[in-house]
Amino acid sequence: MKVLIAFSVLVTCGLATTSQSGQECLCTSDQSCWPSASEFSQLQTQVSQPLIYPLPTASACYPTSDPSGNCTTVIDNWTDGNWRSSMPGSMEAPNWETFMFKNGTIEACYLNTTITDTCGQGRVPVIGVDARSVADIQAGVNFAVKHNLKLVVKNTGHDFLGRSAARGSFVVWTHNMKNITYDPTFVPQGGPANETYDAVTLSAGVQWHEAYDAVNQYGRIMVGAISDGGSVGAAGGWLAGGGHSILSPTYGLGVDNAIEISVILSTGEYLTVNNYQNPDLFWALRGGGGGTYGIVTSVTYRTYPSVPIQFYLFQAN
C-alpha cells in the first residue's frame, strides 16, 4: 500500500522575491542581465564542485527518438522522494517543475512523453551551486547578489508552495551537506558552560531518515517529520515552516527544539545564532518566515530518550 503522509511545508525558499508591484525585479536567464559564460567561469573558481545544470525529473526520457537516459528508471522511481531529492532539478510535486506563460501555454517535461514530445525546462532552475560547505554557499549568495539574480534554495524540493524552484533562476542546492554531529553535552555558543543539552547538529542537507538513524545509535529520538522513506529535509524548510511532528504534543514543534542555527545572510555573512548570540535572528528564523532571512547551513536540535512509538495514519481522498 502506498501511503503519502502529510508533512509540513519544507525547504528554505529563495531569498528572491518579486517587488511590491508584483513585477519581477530580479534577473532571470532569459534576460540580457543574465551573467555571461565567463562570469559563471569566475564563480566556478570559487566553489568546490562543478556548477550544476538542473534538469526536470523526466528529462532522461527525452528526446523520445533517442532518450538521454534510462526512462525505465524514471518510471520506476517517479514517486520515490529520496530518488527525487537526489537530483537538483527534481521537485517533490511535479507541478512545480512546470511553467505557464501568460497566454496559457504550459512548458513542462511530462512523464507521459506523448503529450508534447519535448522536455521543457519549465520552472526548473537553470544553473547553480552544489554546496558542500559554508564557503560554497557564500560564493553562490555573493554571486547572486552581485548580479541581482533570482535565487532559490533547494534541499529536498518538498516545498508545497514551489519555492525550491523558479523559472530562469540560480539555485543553491544544499542536499549534499550531510554532516551529523551528536553531542550529549552541547553548550550553545556564548552560553554559560553549565547550560548543556543532549543535542545533535545537522547540516542543511540531512534528511530525517539519516537524522533518526544517527541518534538512534545513542538511544535517542528527535522531534521530526515522517514521510515515505524519510526523505523530508531535517534542517531546511521543515523547520522554517514550524516543524510539525507526531511528537509535538509531548515535546513541542521543531522550532521549540532548535537550540542553535547557523545561517548565511544576503550580505554573505555567516552567523551562528541562538539565545545568546543574535537572539533576534534566532527568534525570526523560528517564526515561519521560510527562507526570508538567509540560507540555513545547520541546525542543532535537542534529542530525547528513545521510547517505543505507535502511530496510526488515516488518509481520505
Ligand X SMILES: *[C@@H]1O[C@H](CO)[C@@H](O)[C@H](O)[C@H]1NC(C)=O
> In the complex, which residues of this chain contact ligand X (CB under 6 A)?
70, 72-73, 76-77, 80, 83, 101, 103, 105, 112, 114-115, 133, 177, 179, 192, 194-195, 203
- Distance CA(215)–CA(143), nearest Å, equals 36
Instruction: Give the CA distances from residue 33 to residues 23, 26, 128, in Å, rounded to whole numbers and listed in that order.
Output: 16, 9, 16
Please state the closest distance from residue 75 (CB atom) to ligand X, in A. 8
Please state the closest distance from residue 205 (CB atom) to ligand X, in A. 9
- Distance CA(276)–CA(139), nearest Å, equals 28
Place of cell 535565487: 151
Please state the closest distance from residue 116 (CB atom) to ligand X, in A. 9
Among positive and negative, which fits the CA dihedral 136, 142, 143, 144?
Answer: positive
Nearer to ligand X, 194 or 310 (CB): 194
Please state the closest distance from residue 273 (CB atom) to ligand X, in A. 16
C-alpha cell at 299: 541546525
Nearer to ligand X, 39 or 80 (CB): 80
* Short-list 169, 156, 166, CA closest to 239: 156
- Distance CA(127)–CA(132), nearest Å, equals 16
Please state the closest distance from residue 145 (CB atom) to ligand X, in A. 21
Nearer to ligand X, 30 or 316 (CB): 30
Nearer to ligand X, 191 or 252 (CB): 191
* Short-list 155, 147, 151, 156, CA closest to 167: 151
Nearer to ligand X, 46 or 133 (CB): 133
Nearer to ligand X, 247 or 285 (CB): 285
Among positive and negative, which fits the CA dihedral 93, 96, 99, 100?
Answer: positive
Would you say how long the chain is, in residues? 317
Contact 240, 156 (CB under 8 A): no
Contact 221, 304 (CB under 8 A): yes
Nearer to ligand X, 181 or 250 (CB): 181
The H or E element spanning position 283 is helix 279-285
Please state the closest distance from residue 74 (CB atom) to ligand X, in A. 9
Nearer to ligand X, 80 or 213 (CB): 80
What angle do helix axes 134-146 and 37-44 make, rounded to 10 degrees?
A: 160
Please state the closest distance from residue 257 (CB atom) to ligand X, in A. 17
Contact 5, 227 (CB under 8 A): yes
Please state the closest distance from residue 10 (CB atom) to ligand X, in A. 20
